[in-house]
Amino acid sequence: MSRLKKKYKEEIVKTFLKDNAKLNPNEVPVLKKIVISMGLRESERDKTTLQLHTKELAMISGQKPIRTKAKKAISNFKLREGQVIGLKVTLRKKKMYDFLDRFCNIVCPRIRDFRGFSIKADGRGSYNLGIDDQQVFPEINLDEVKGQQGMNIVFVTTAETDADCIKLLRLMGFPFK
């Protein structure tokens, strides 16, 4: 069992039940999945960047990413239907807890000028954040990196409100301001 999942079962559930006596143990918010996505606009010009970013995202997440394609053509953006425009990975269960543990304890301290993430959530009990540079992850070989590539990370929880989502992530060790 992952260290973070063990902490959730032993400490976080008890904290939520103590703070709100009306809660049933099954109503305590839980982290359902983590989705990591990259938008790759430059991949149409250079096919090696698509392969490079696929390899990087696979190393970061521990599983192979899927390619997201354009649903319809937009001439103003020079976009054709079916063209690869991004990559995404959905992490669940053990890989999700391991990624969150590495992200909070190893990656966040490596972010330049980091003072904590904002506590604004999406209004539906999930938390989104963006990272400007993939080079903060220690799995990435810096000699192979061609350029800076950002990514979006979504933490999906079963929380009904943003306050419960933030509280859950904070108890799991997520660095907020």
Asked whether residue 57 is assigned to any structural domain, the reply reads no
Which amino acid, residue 61?
Answer: S
Percent of the chain with pLDDT over 90: 6
Query: Any bridge partners for residue 91, and if so which?
Result: 34
- pLDDT digit string, tens, across residues 62-108: 899 998 887 888 777 777 787 778 889 999 988 888 888 888 888 88
Confidence of residue 117 (pLDDT cuts 50, 70, 90): confident
Helix, strand, or coil here: 62?
Answer: coil
Query: Does position 168 have pLDDT exceeding 70, yes or no?
Result: yes
* CA–CA dist 121, 162 (Å, integer): 6
Asked whether residue 65 is assigned to any structural domain, the reply reads no
Q: Over the chain, what is the mean pLDDT?
A: 82
Confidence of residue 164 (pLDDT cuts 50, 70, 90): confident
143: domain CATH number is 3.30.1440.10
Q: Supply the Cα-derived Rg of the chain in whole angstroms.
A: 18
Q: How many residues does the chain have?
A: 177
Query: Does position 35 have pLDDT exceeding 90, yes or no?
Result: yes
Asked whether residue 99 is assigned to any structural domain, the reply reads yes
Asked whether residue 152 is assigned to any structural domain, the reply reads yes
Asked whether residue 15 is assigned to any structural domain, the reply reads yes
Confidence of residue 44 (pLDDT cuts 50, 70, 90): low
Q: Which domain covers residue 131, as residue numbers?
A: 3-38+88-171
Query: To the nearest 5 percent, what fractions of the chain are helix, strand and coil?
Result: 40, 20, 35
Helix, strand, or coil here: 84?
Answer: strand
* CA–CA dist 2, 155 (Å, integer): 17
As for how many domains the chain has, the answer is 1
Asked whether residue 82 is assigned to any structural domain, the reply reads no
Place of tokens 């063209």: 83
Closest C-alpha to 40, from 92, 79, 91, 96: 79
Q: What's the confidence (pLDDT) of residue 89?
A: 93
Asked whether residue 31 is assigned to any structural domain, the reply reads yes
Asked whether residue 17 is assigned to any structural domain, the reply reads yes
Query: Does position 24 have pLDDT exceeding 70, yes or no?
Result: yes
Mean pLDDT of 2-30: 82
Query: Does position 142 have pLDDT exceeding 80, yes or no?
Result: no
